Amino acid sequence: MRRLRRGKVSGGTALSRSARFRELLRTPPFICMGAHDAVTAKLAEQAGAKAIYVSGFAASAIVAGEPDFGVLSQTEMFEHIRRICRVTTIPVFADADTGYGGVLEAQRTMKLWEESGASVLHLEDQAMPKKCGHFAGKQLIPPEEMRQKLRAMLEARQDPDFFIVARTDAVAVSGLDDAIERLKSYSEVGADGLYVDAPESIDHLKEISRRLKPLGKPLLFNMARSGKSPYLSMKEVYELGFDYALCPIEPMFAMHKAVKEMMEIFLREGSTNAVADRLTPFDEFNKFIGLPEMAAREKRFSS
């Protein structure tokens, strides 16, 4: 049964978050804003983001304090995504890594990601243990094995609007041509969207668009500033043929820098006076996380 979420109304029926994500793809471009925890997810929605992205790189850092070397289990990632989905109403795009195993594990991942409240996932063709797409030393599975996983996920999908993106990490391993041919074959088995991770130049982006755009599947771009890909604005990548993009880890990097500086200054000076203008006031933060609404609810039930 399709779960309905709060959102736009069409013909008197509330659209699910997954259906709303597909509506976004009708009027590109747009950005899926990275959120590494519940607070940043709420901030993304408040700032006007149309969708949220939950990165495996960020989850590994936030949950385990470790790099993205496949350190999180399927259930750890599921719980991380679910916490984010609980506090937001906009569509959530959640990294599914390799599906955490073979075809049966991929099917379970599909079921869990739907249960978490996510609306989109991407599945990658790396061999386990996987690595961040911008790290060295990646290995790939054969294309047929990836196609089997995609078919398994498509069969397990309960909500037909849930959006499944096929991702390839082949550029750094076997080259751009292989990456494009892999995605063509993933498209043939029914992937909804296509994603070449870590293209290395604007020429790469032009070739990806030229050869994959005719398939009629939305193309995804990763806007991470410090990886292997050129940094371009959403307008620039849209003009190259990409429909939407991820801003996956910048909120976490902003948090890291701000908190690092605050702690260093405080420990050096013994006071927060020097950084007071960078701190959200207590009352403002409580309002942001919903204290007035919660207090009113408690009063309603206790009076």
Position 254, amino acid? A
Element (H, E) at 120: strand 120-124
Q: Which residue has the tokens 């984010």?
A: 84
Our answer to whether residue 203 is catalytic in this structure is no
Candidate list 97, 125, 169, 192, residue with the active-site label: 97
Of these residues, 167, 197, 238, 243, which one is catalytic? 167
Residue 91: φ, ψ to 5°: -60, 140
Q: Which of 200, 207, 236, 250 is catalytic?
A: 200
Three-class DSSP category at 272: coil
User: How far, in Å, CA of 212 to CA of 243, rounded?
Assistant: 12
Per-residue b/e over 70-92, b at no fewer than 16 CB within 10 Å? bbbebeebbebbbebbeebebbb
**How many Cβ atoms are within 10 Å of 212's Cβ, its own excluded?**
21
- Residue ranges of alpha helices (H) inside 189-290 are 202-212, 234-239, 250-269, 282-288
| Whether 80 is catalytic | no
| Residue 163 main-chain phi, psi, to 5 deg | -105, 120
Marked catalytic residue, from 222, 238, 243, 247: 222
Annotated catalytic residue 167: yes
Triad 288, 290, 292: Cα angle to 5°: 110
261 is catalytic: no
Looking at residue 194, its amino acid is L
Report the candidate in 224, 84, 197, 74 with the shortest Cα–Cα distance to residue 131: 197
Catalytic residue, candidates 37, 45, 124, 192? 124
95 in catalytic set: yes
For the question of residue 200 being annotated catalytic, the response is yes
Query: Among the options 122, 147, 157, 182, which is catalytic?
Result: 122
Q: Which is the catalytic residue, given 132, 147, 169, 238?
A: 132
Question: Distance (Å, rounded) from C-alpha 5 to C-alpha 15?
Answer: 7
Long-range contacts of 11-15 (CB under 8 A, 24+ apart): none
The yes-or-no answer on residue 36 being catalytic is no
Residue 277 designated active-site: no
C-alpha–C-alpha distance, residues 169 and 240, integer Å: 20
Would you please indicate which residues are annotated as catalytic (active-site) residues? 53, 68, 95, 97, 122, 124, 132, 167, 200, 222
